[in-house]
Amino acid sequence: MKFLKTVGIILLILLLLFLALSFIMPKEYTVSKSRTIDAPRSLVFGKVNDLSQNAAWNYWAVMDTTMKVTVGKPSIGKGGNYSWTSEKMGSGTYTTTDLVHGDQIDLKMEFESFPPGTGTWTFEDADKGTEVNWSFNGSSKWPMNVFNFIGKSALGKSFKNGLEMLDKSCQSDMSKALKKYDIKSVEFPYTSFLAKKGKVEFAEIEKFYQNNLRSIYSELLDRRMDPVGQPCALFFTWDEAHTMTDMAAGIPIDQSIDVDGFDNINIENTEAFMIEYYGDPAMTIDAHMAMDYHLYKEGLDPSDLVVEEYVTDPTEFPGEPNKWLTKIYYQK
């Protein structure tokens, strides 16, 4: 009887201590982890912004083999989301609530058994790549806030391991891309273009190019001038935040001419990096990413001028895109 009484007193003391701590300890908590990743900011940001690539940093899915992740629509940018179900961790959703392209991503996470929380990814240039910070602000209901320190520790470990996964994924992507393409240093072959310039939405690039190319060819035909190269798309800016580019559709010519309604683009003799890309000209993104990684590895700034020269007319080899050559130049 005395033993039971002693146990009861101890349990009562523990209960009172637990309740006291629950009133003292905060209900809110913050977790933050950082890592410097030796990769360009565009690559690192893109992997976090595109939630279809969440496997690159989602340590929870690695740790919990019962977890099933479903990527929603959209998967990129504000409103991008994915959901999960798990026998061990329950279900929930991750949503991108806002972003500053290339700099910051704000997020919200909702859980089946816990209050929702908010977090932020930040991306900054560093001496050896990109400084990435992943933070989360959460809360627990009373009296479970007593265990916040355990949750913070587990979450911090997940963030740390997730950032390590992100680093390895970026290194793998760069290595594969640089092995896939032979990047050459060449003299840029043209100094003059008869062109049509414009500010164009990404989705309208092909339409802008095709529509203006016809009028340029027609003007050259009227003047009995022969092109000195194949038709080109020239890109002067590339604004992913607003999905806009300052570009031109142009045809290389051997001398500068002034024509009403057209733009005359002159380029000084210059060196360039060049990739010979075989495939659908609308699918050159991998080659451009490889060039970006090359510039990063060489410690060079992004090019002020990017030119795609469409060497092969697809009608010559219909249905055989492996024979369609596009030369991609990045001015040094």
CATH of the domain at 140: 3.30.530.20
Mean pLDDT of 304-314: 96
Same domain membership, residue 166 and residue 100: yes
Same domain membership, residue 218 and residue 103: no
Same domain membership, residue 130 and residue 107: yes
In a domain, 10, yes or no: no
Residue 111 confidence class, pLDDT cut points 50, 70, 90: confident
pLDDT at 15: 45
pLDDT at 3: 53
In a domain, 6, yes or no: no
In a domain, 295, yes or no: yes
> Does residue 165 register a pLDDT over 90?
yes
Residue 17 confidence class, pLDDT cut points 50, 70, 90: very low
Cα(213)–Cα(201) distance, integer angstroms: 17
Q: Which two three-digit tokens encode residue 170?
A: 């970026």
In a domain, 13, yes or no: no
Same domain membership, residue 239 and residue 157: no
Cα(234)–Cα(228) distance, integer angstroms: 16
Residue 143 vs residue 59, higher pLDDT: 59
Residue 153 confidence class, pLDDT cut points 50, 70, 90: low
Same domain membership, residue 204 and residue 256: yes
- In the chain, which residue ranges form alpha helices assigned H by DSSP? 2-24, 41-49, 59-63, 148-180, 205-222, 285-297
Domain around 131: 23-172
Contact 228, 190 (CB under 8 A): yes
Same domain membership, residue 228 and residue 154: no
> Does residue 188 register a pLDDT over 80?
yes
Residue 82 confidence class, pLDDT cut points 50, 70, 90: very high
Same domain membership, residue 221 and residue 137: no
In a domain, 166, yes or no: yes
Cα(184)–Cα(189) distance, integer angstroms: 14
Same domain membership, residue 309 and residue 203: yes
Query: Which residues lie closer than 8 Å to 209 by C-beta, 6 or more apart?
Result: 233, 249
Domain count, the chain: 2
Mean pLDDT of 25-32: 72
pLDDT at 6: 56
For residue 221, give the 3-state DSSP assignment: helix
Looking up residue 244, the CATH number of its domain turns out to be 3.20.80.10
> Does residue 87 register a pLDDT over 80?
yes
Same domain membership, residue 198 and residue 151: no
Backbone angles phi, psi at 217, to 5 degrees: -60, -40
pLDDT at 19: 43
Q: Which two three-digit tokens encode residue 68?
A: 């099933």
Residue 147 confidence class, pLDDT cut points 50, 70, 90: very low
Lowest-confidence pick of 27-31, 144-148, 197-201, 328-332 = 144-148
Q: Which of 115, 265, 266, 119 is nearest to 198 (CA)?
A: 265
Q: Which two three-digit tokens encode residue 101?
A: 């392209």
Same domain membership, residue 225 and residue 200: yes
Cα(159)–Cα(154) distance, integer angstroms: 9
Starting at the edge strand found earlier in the chain, the sheet holding 192-201 runs 184-187, 271-278, 325-331, 306-310, 232-239, 244-253, 192-201, 263-266
Mean pLDDT of 50-76: 94
> Does residue 200 register a pLDDT over 50?
yes
Q: Give residue-wise pLDDT tens across range 236-293.
A: 999 998 999 999 999 999 988 888 999 999 998 789 999 999 999 999 999 999 999 9
In a domain, 139, yes or no: yes
Mean pLDDT of 197-222: 95
Same domain membership, residue 160 and residue 231: no
Backbone angles phi, psi at 235, to 5 degrees: -120, 125
For residue 35, give the 3-state DSSP assignment: strand
> Where does a domain end: 172, 203, 224?
172
Contact 126, 36 (CB under 8 A): yes
Same domain membership, residue 212 and residue 80: no
Give the position of tokens 């209960």. Answer: 15
In a domain, 179, yes or no: no
In a domain, 7, yes or no: no
Lowest-confidence pick of 7-11, 35-39, 121-125, 232-236 = 7-11
Give the global pTM.
Answer: 0.83
> Where does a domain end: 172, 203, 231?
172
Q: Other CB atoms closer than 10 Å to residue 82's CB: what's the count?
A: 19
Sign (positive or negative) of CA dihedral 294, 53, 56, 163: positive
Query: Which residues lie closer than 8 Å to 302 by C-beta, 6 or more apart?
Result: 292, 295
Element (H, E) at 234: strand 232-239
> Where does a domain end: 143, 172, 201?
172
In the chain, what is the greatest distance between 2 CA atoms, to the nearest angstrom?
Answer: 113
